[in-house]
Amino acid sequence: MVDSEQQIDLLEAYAAKSSSPVVPWPVFIKIDVGSQRAGMTTHSPSLPRLIQRIESSSAATVYGFYCHAGHSYACRTEDAAAAVLQTEVEGVVEAAKVLVDGKNDRRIVVSVGSTPTAHVVKRLQGALPEGMELELHAGTL
């Protein structure tokens, strides 16, 4: 999981020291959807640069976009959790569109979830654009 170009530098340095051929690491780009703990926002000018940096690297390739809405644990209703889930999905889909724009044959994983939002995931049906695969992660159910 990466959120800066410096992390790609480290992967490349490691690959350069390897005595055997290195298969590019599939990486998730961490997206901040409101927790303000880690990742980058979809509006960050660094996001397109990071995507380009990864895609031009011999040590990594973009596997998908990941977010965790830790602030969802403050939700007290299903509607509130569903609103946070919607924000998560919109965040990773918006980020993924930077990568897949014009590339219809590319499959990208968008990874969202927390325990509160996993309970309302059925509300997501039909929410993802073509070519995006949903991965749901949650601590406990």
Instruction: Supply the DSSP string of 91-128, one letter for each residue.
Output: HHHHHHHHHHTT-TT--EEEEE--HHHHTTGGGGTT-S
Residues of the chain with pLDDT under 50: none
Write the burial class of residue 140 (CB in 10 Å: 0-12 exposed, 13-18 middle, 19+ buried). Answer: exposed
Return the pLDDT at 141.
52
What single letter denotes the amino acid at residue 64? G
Residue 65 pLDDT? 94
Q: Given the structure tokens 């940096």, which residue do they identify?
A: 53
Q: What pLDDT is stored for residue 58 in this prediction? A: 92
Residues of the chain with pLDDT > 90: what percent?
Answer: 36
pTM of full prediction above 0.85 = yes
For residue 103, the model assigns a pLDDT of 60
